[in-house]
Amino acid sequence: MSFVVGRSGRRQDIEAGNNGSDDEASGYSSDPFLIPRTKGASTEALRRWRQAALVVNASRQFRYTSKQQTLRNTTPHEEATIRELASLPYGNANEVLEKYGGVTGLESFLKTNLEKGIKGEDDELTKRRKAFGSNKYPRKKGSGFWTFVWDACKDVTLIMLTLAAVASLALGITSEGIKEGWYDGGSIVFAIILVIMVIAVSDYKQSLRFLELNEEKRDIHIEVIRNGRRVQISIYDLVVGDVVPLNIGNQVPADGVFITGHSLAIDESSMIGENKIVHKDSKHPFLMSGCKVADGSGTMLVTAVGMNTEWGNVMSKMSEDTTEETPLQVRLNGVATKIGAVGLLVAFAVLVVLVIRFFSGETRILDGSVDAVREVIKILTLPVIIAVVAVPEGLPLAVTLTLAYSMRKMMADKALVRRLSACETMGSATIICCDKTGTLTLNQMSVADAYIGRKKMDPPHNKSELSPQLCSLLLEGVAYNTNGSVYVPQGDDTDGDNVEVSGSPTDKAILHWGIKMGMDFHAIRSEPSIMHVFPFNSEKKRGGVADDSKVHVHWKGAAEIVLGSCTSYMDANGQLVEMDQEKMEFFEKAIEDMAGDSLRCVAIAYKDPCRPGVKEAVQLCLNSGVKVQMVTGDNLLTAKAIARECGILDLNEDAAEPNVVEGHEFRALSDTRRDEIVEKISVMGRSSPNDKLLLVQALRRKGHVVAVTGDGTNDAPALHEADIGLAMGIQGSEVAKESSDIIIMDDNFATVVKVMRWGRSVYANTQKFMQFQLTVNVVAITIEAFSACFDGLLPLNAVQLLWINLIMDTLGALALATEPPLDDLMNRPPVPPREPLITDIMWRNMVIQIAIQVFALSVLNFHGISILLLQSNVIEHAIEVKNTAIFNSFVFFQISTLVKARNMNEFNIFKGITRNYLLLGIVGSIIFFQFIIIEFLGKFTKTVSLNGYQWFISVLFGMSGKTVLTAKDLFFSILPSA
């Protein structure tokens, strides 16, 4: 890298902040967090959040009544103290602060250290939580189990069925006595209760899982200073007395007071209900929990946590909305409604046919009026049962189950889903716009090359050839111009072996280099000589600090940006040399050479290698029809080198416009021209956050489903504008995370590809269940309607249909929703969001299976007595055996339909079946309970025992359409995975 020690000379730099007010210099002429697009948010959700923001008014006194639970174990004196500390950011704050002797007085009172923080031992943390409360607030609990039971009971068709069952129960008891007469109605009531409980348990468990995921989203990890070291902790572990570093994009984790900082600006819109950026310093030191750091950096002393803050008070009254419906759920609700309407028409037609047959005398009445009444109840009950089966309630349930399953798996793969619909939308992504640093690359940095003067240092920390003046100036700039910190264990030297360095990867690399050069970080930083700080941001691509000891301004930033502002440089002897054209070209060539070697040129350059697995992940995207675009603020040469290393740019691909562009060039184009070239772009270098936003807008105008990664505060607009915003969990700011749909916890591009794979799985699993349920629905309705029209007898009774409904709506949904992603998912092109849910292959599968099943069941219905060798039996018993065989065949048909739905495109339906233990368990459970229902619960289910031959025939009919279930397929599918 080219490290130039120079003076800006006469070159004006508006970005340095000396040509306007502080607000203008910091870029606050407009709200930097104003996001015009609310992507998918409902009016009700926006209203709730707006109310939450407007509840608080900074000018009114802090409210104490909600804090009695926290304070009830404290003495009156302690309670008054806690209240005074909690009221610091509000009301008569200055008077309270003066009472304690200012910030230094609070330091003594809270037994902390403004530089080193608290000791952080467990017993000390426990005492502080006991005295001042923990950084938690009561959550509104989710709906209880009985709420879900009540919701399940509200189903209209189940209510109608319950009324019919009660009437049948009353009639049976009246005519046959309570010992025998309760079987018909009681079995239906029991089946209804079972269905309701299964649905309620399933919904309740999914609700709990979503609440757990929401809790994960709230668990922010922050950095605190304890015992002189910067450590990462959960926001829930923060205590009063902690010292917290604040940087741009952070959320203020608790109420507190400003200790020290530079150009620290806080966005307080979340607390006062209006867009307002407030600069914090010793004159305006109060910080409110929940606000965001808009610019600058600093440290704060925590004075109140949890319910002793206004943010905690507001959030305790907010409940997380877990009722969001994804686009796929909305579409499936529409499909279910239409199918249900068709089913109701069929049920009504069956009712009409049965009524006509009853009044025409074709329905047999065995014993006078009582049987006539019972027959009327049956006529009214069976169409209701058909309606229950016809309505595919399991379709939306299947999406809920597969979303919950996929979200848990994504969490295991280091991806936290913040918005449900992002799961399925990610499966339709056509373009991924990703950052380079930390996403495609490791973001683990060390100094590789250093040019000081016109001399390349070898090794880069060799200072023997430098003058003491130059070396001192260099180390001064390294120590001052960083947000990182250095911790040296007691008794250790500073040779760098045991020194702990914290901060951004860039700062850590520079500090490690400075330590090897002999820098005494604490000695330099302990001198109170900083006049002003110019914070680094992605627009300026540099930051600086003014030192009043000799009025030095130390700059650090993109090498060519810093170089372009220099009029002279300092050689190895410490002499100032004029920066003429020849010398400028020397440094530019040095920067160009290092950038070509994948080195990022800052004040100091470092090697940033590609992450392991990224090249394979990029290739997987390309194979699946998804283009990857690299958007980076780095030098274009560096960006091209990394893009080739990652496989984004092919070695033979033309590395020129429009494949490779710089941000300022893209920015200068008209909307029409941008739209023309946007799909061809592979790499954008030296880009600003606004360039990324323009890129996303252009891609969406072209009809693409765009996924965008981001980590900075200024990435928020692009993350919001994208169809799927993916924030980085390690390097990402809180502003970026709150603007995102999914948080990538390990900052790895390979994890982004895993999320896309799970997103595709959500859509695929939903289609699997749709094929399964529609096949079962149509077959059940058709066989019942045919039988009703031809002989007035229904082969499947109420309890049997409810058992089939349970298999379809719950067990089937659970089995297929948890199907792991198939290997070929990433070999298919993305599915457009408005693509028909039922594909041509699904239509083919359903038509063939429905035709085979209806034919086989009809043969068994109309010729079953002869096929099952029942000619010599009493006709009533023969019909019971035949209907039991039809019921058994139907269930086994649905088992094979369930297995077939796993691989809709595969001839071998057993491929990979041993990976889904839940599916195998469900299939085994259905077969087991089917045996129990027939052989032991006949009185309740109106079935009779079958002999071995009858079992064989009914199962054979149930498997008759599955010629693909051959022994060869079964052997070769299980063998490789065993």
**Phi, psi at residue 435, to the nearest 5°?**
-75, 160
Q: How far is CA 717 from CA 32, 634, 652, in A?
A: 9, 20, 34
- C-alpha 774/C-alpha 331 separation (Å) is 15
One-letter amino acid for residue 528 of the chain: P
Cβ proximity of 307 and 70 under 8 Å: yes
Q: Which helix (H) or strand (E) holds 187?
A: helix 183-218
What burial class does residue 877 get, using C-beta atoms within 10 Å of its C-beta: 0-12 exposed, 13-18 middle, 19+ buried?
exposed
One-letter amino acid for residue 457 of the chain: M
Cβ proximity of 209 and 201 under 8 Å: no
**Residues tagged active-site:** 435
Q: Which letter does DSSP use for residue 447 in this model? A: B
Cβ proximity of 246 and 281 under 8 Å: no
SS3 811: helix
- C-alpha 700/C-alpha 722 separation (Å) is 8
User: What contacts 26, CB < 8 A, 6 or more positions away?
Assistant: 17, 263, 265, 277, 294, 295, 296, 535
Q: How far is CA 920 from CA 205, 576, 811, 902, in A?
A: 21, 78, 11, 12
Q: Which residues pair with 630 in a beta bridge?
A: 434, 683
Per-residue burial over 461-470, b if 16 or more Cβ lie within 10 Å, else e, is bebeebbeeb
One-letter amino acid for residue 397 of the chain: L
Tokens of 673: 């021209």
The CA angle 941-947-951, to the nearest 5 degrees, is 75
Rounded to 10 degrees, the C-alpha dihedral 308/309/313/319 comes to -120
Residue 21: Cβ within 10 Å count: 10
Q: Single out the residue of 217, 219, 240 nearest to residue 307, CA to CA.
A: 240
- C-alpha 146/C-alpha 484 separation (Å) is 53
SS3 449: coil
- C-alpha 10/C-alpha 311 separation (Å) is 48
Report helix, strand and coil shares of the chain as percent, to nearest 5. 55, 15, 35
